[in-house]
Structure 1
Amino acid sequence: MKRFTAVRFQFPFILILSCILFNVVNGQTSTDIKQLYTDVFITHQKAVIPNSNFSKPLEVTLKVYLLTITRFDEVDETLDTGVAILTTWNNDGISWNPSSYGNAESIVVSKTDIWTPKLVLLNSVETYEPLGENNDNLGTVLYNGSSSIFLGDLLSSKCKTNIYKFPFDTQTCVLSFVVWGLTHKEVTLTADPYPVDVTYFIPNSDWTLQSYQSRTYLLGAFDILELSLTIQRAPLYYTIMVGCPTILFGLLNPLVFLLPVESGERVGLSMTVLLSFAIFLTMVQMAVPASSNPMSLLLVFMIVTIALSGIIVAVTIYVSSLYYRDPQENMNIILKYFGSRRHRNKRLIVVVPELEKIEKENVKYSTEMNITWKDVCDGLDTYMMVIYYCIIIFINCLFFIIVTV
């Protein structure tokens, strides 16, 4: 009973003590904050760099928050991104005693009320305006002068592209920021210990963020913050819509050698495949990036495929012309070789008349090779189909090995 009474007595005491401590810590009122603003900013000059010792540069710490990758244009070589940069520095012109203002240790101010570094994207393709210039961003100032503000914007930067392995390409783009108008003797940039944060990053359906890094370096008289992004294209769409039809056209072409010459459809089929592929190439040229430095390997692959298709048309016409040649026309040694692989051996039995005594078994057989133009055409068809399939399969394998490694 005594223990229960003691607990009942201690609980209200602890509750009252907690309320007192809470009011001591968070006792500032709107009057305190207004007075703090008045006292702090009455003599504050936001146009002056807040550095108490101008013999040393003001140190500005930067942390990049990557928000989104909006678009990547291979032809124009531009990357559109959403970026916010947490900028932190020490404002020596602002300080106060928290106990004099209801224990207020920080205040939220507009960027128009304090000095802020004017960060500009150095490799911008549009305007050279400071980040967040058109936004009324809010910053935080602590009682010891430590200041921070988020400067963010949608940026369009120049990015040198390499589409050699399109659509399995990987691009590395760099965003370079500089404090506009201030040299490293006045302001020095320092990267945060964790320089890049992707907590709020929204993925892009066409590009995957592979890696990122940030660093600062001196370029001439200015400190530069460099954000490097490595992105990889999602290849599924282009593989299905461009790569697969190209492979199909390549595998379909040599099948014309299976058609008999008598059908009269060989040349027509080969021409149809060639024209179909030419039309397809015209349709997809807008989807494949147009660049000569370097040229896309996929375009080279398509050009080689259409060139082989043209050669097949020429070979088909030549084989058809051989089929209808005069049987008495002489063949050269190369054509005889192709024909000998497909000719039909004919054995002619010649019975020699009896002169004196001839036994029944004395019969002489003679065998001769009779190669026709049809045999030559059949041999050429077989060889050409095998050769072209070997070439096409080799080219396809080589292409996918190069672009995926």
Structure 2
Amino acid sequence: MSQIWFALAASLTVFMTSFNGVHAQSITDVERLFSNLMVGYSKMFRPVLNQSKQVIVVPGLDIVSIQDFNEVEEKISFTALLYLAWNDERLVWDPKDYGGIDNLYIDVSKIWAPQLMLTNVVNKNERLSEDWHTVRVNASGWCLYVIANVFTSSCDVDVTFYPWDTQTCSLDFMPANYGVDKMILYPIYHKVQLTYYSPNGAWDLMDTSVTSELYSFMVRFNVVLERKPRFAIVNVILPLIIMSALNILVFLIPTECGERISFCLTVLLSIAVFLTLVGDNLPKNSNPMSLFSYYLVSVLAISAAITLSVICSLHVYHRSEKQQPGGAWRAIAMCLECYYVRRTGSESADRTNRSDKIKFARPENASHRSSHGMHSIPYSSHTNRGVILYRPTHSYGTLPSDRPEDKPLQKKETDDSDSSVLEITWAEVSIALDKVFFLFFILLLITDTLCFLIIIYHNVSL
């Protein structure tokens, strides 16, 4: 096999370099050469004198551009040049006999040419060669046939790490009308040529390779493509993260405005629309599934959980005040400082300071009343407004604190001063829940996004 390799490489080198010579050639020499070559020539037979031998065809591919890559339909189109080289033992002449002519262009319909088919074609398999194509033949019998076409083949798309995915697509060619005992394909280049390649806006061409399959009966041109993720990041991922963060801000909206539910549902529907758009751009298969699809479902679930949390918070906010919050709700409110607990000692000290500032004012006719044996002693009613009341008493009677009718008032003051905790309402419990939900969903969204990015980065870097 190494000898065949060397012979093919040497012959192809001679074949390519023989076209560089410039000789004085007349039309008469060309016509005479063509007529002599076509005498007794039949394109129905393989171009070898010994028909038991295999015809060795050397294929090559030069990609011009990536025409289209449809991930949903799993097909890719390349604009490329397919090179086919073989040796026709019947098309040999001596250039000296024909005015130094060492190469000749002949219509493909006049001579034998290999008929190849694209085995992984998407649509109907059609013949690659056309009758108007020409074949370049040199004096040693080597023929070069260049087929320029748009080749569309199927491609198994793996979108597991979308939009940081890498795809490997191939173009598989094999003979259309001969078996392996009659013709083989033997590539001498291990890479796809990129002589005329122009970059694609959505994909980067990372690597290429050429392999021979099925005992050299089929040749496979492999192309490794890497997606440019900037478009998906700017138009899909960032808007999705922003909308998810915006949805969490619903807990900062005052409950009294009544716009919480509509806000949550609007963002939830927007995320659902994004999920639909991304799903339309991914292949309709379940193996493998895109990790980004799982991330979208998780974001949708978080948004639905936020909506349920808002409903729960509104339900608590509008509960009847006849039923006081239980110990668990009071503990939540106390932990989040939705209200302040007043201690008995501090409240008593504050009340003492206020009582020192009360001025015991006497009326203008106090002397007149004193002359009748009466005086007024002020006392402060322990009411919310702090009104100072005056109760007239006899000078010879007992002090106000000793009167029986004043004892209930003093008892009430004592009971009020012993109260160390303010009353907790359901509205305050709702505010506490909003704080809990806000912190919880912020941490949940950050964790979910970081896990998705770390998994993608870890697998792509491998």
Instruction: Report TM bin, short chain.
Output: 0.7 to 0.9
Counterpart-to-counterpart distance in 1, 2:121 and 2:77:
10
Task: Give the equivalent residue in structure 2 for 1:314.
Answer: 308
Map 1:139-150 onto structure 2 (within 5 A).
139-150=135-146
Correspondence for 2:47 among 27, 47, 50: 50
Task: Give the equivalent residue in structure 1 for 2:426.
Answer: 373
Counterpart-to-counterpart distance in 1, 2:134 and 2:212:
25
Higher strand share: 1
Map 1:169-184 onto structure 2 (within 5 A).
169-184=165-180
- Number of aligned residue pairs: 370
Counterpart-to-counterpart distance in 1, 2:140 and 2:268:
76
Q: Report the CA distance shift for 1:225/1:313 in structure 2 as closer, same or farther (over 3 A).
A: same
Counterpart-to-counterpart distance in 2, 1:27 and 1:277:
74
Unaligned runs of 5+ in 2: 1-20, 349-400, 403-416
1:165 maps onto 2:218 in alignment: no
Classify the secondary structure of the residue corresponding to 1:196.
coil
Deviation at 1:64, TM superposition (A): 0.9
Unaligned runs of 5+ in 1: 1-23, 355-363
Q: Which moved more, 1:286-295 or 1:227-236?
A: 286-295
Map 1:209-248 onto structure 2 (within 5 A).
209-218=205-214, 223-248=217-242
Classify the secondary structure of the residue corresponding to 2:343.
strand
Classify the secondary structure of the residue corresponding to 2:453.
helix
Instruction: Decide whether the 8 Å contact of 2:208 with 2:221 is kept in 1.
Output: yes
Amino acid of the residue matched to residue 389 of structure 1? I
Residues 196-244 of structure 1: CA deviation (Å, up to 9, x unaligned): 211112322222212111111216xx70010111112232223222222
Q: Mark the structure with the bigger radius of gyration.
A: 2
Amino acid of the residue matched to residue 134 of structure 1? E
Classify the secondary structure of the residue corresponding to 1:53.
coil
Deviation at 1:330, TM superposition (A): 5.1
Instruction: Decide whether the 8 Å contact of 2:106 with 2:134 is kept in 1.
Output: yes
Task: Give the equivalent residue in structure 2 for 1:136.
Answer: 132
Q: Report the CA distance shift for 1:66/1:318 in structure 2 as closer, same or farther (over 3 A).
A: same
Task: Give the equivalent residue in structure 1 for 2:78.
Answer: 81
Counterpart-to-counterpart distance in 1, 2:94 and 2:238:
71
Classify the secondary structure of the residue corresponding to 1:393.
helix
Classify the secondary structure of the residue corresponding to 1:273.
helix
Q: Report the CA distance shift for 1:367/1:135 in structure 2 as closer, same or farther (over 3 A).
A: farther
Instruction: Decide whether the 8 Å contact of 1:342 with 1:376 is kept in 2.
Output: no
Map 1:3-402 onto structure 2 (within 5 A).
26-131=23-128, 133-134=129-130, 136-193=132-189, 195-218=191-214, 223-282=217-276, 286-287=280-281, 289-327=283-321, 329=323, 331-332=325-326, 334-343=328-337, 344-349=340-345, 367-368=420-421, 371-402=424-455
Q: Report the CA distance shift for 1:194/1:135 in structure 2 as closer, same or farther (over 3 A).
A: farther
After TM superposition, the score normalised by the length of structure 2 is: 0.73
Amino acid of the residue matched to residue 176 of structure 1? D
Counterpart-to-counterpart distance in 2, 1:35 and 1:390:
86
Counterpart-to-counterpart distance in 2, 1:145 and 1:282:
59
Instruction: Decide whether the 8 Å contact of 2:191 with 2:208 is kept in 1.
Output: no
Residues 301-360 of structure 1: CA deviation (Å, up to 9, x unaligned): 223222211211111111122123344535455434322212421113487x99xxxxxx
Amino acid of the residue matched to residue 250 of structure 2? V
After TM superposition, the score normalised by the length of structure 1 is: 0.83
Deviation at 1:250, TM superposition (A): 0.5
Identity %: 28
RMSD: 2.8
Deviation at 1:279, TM superposition (A): 4.5
Deviation at 1:396, TM superposition (A): 1.7
Counterpart-to-counterpart distance in 2, 1:121 and 1:285:
30
Classify the secondary structure of the residue corresponding to 1:192.
coil
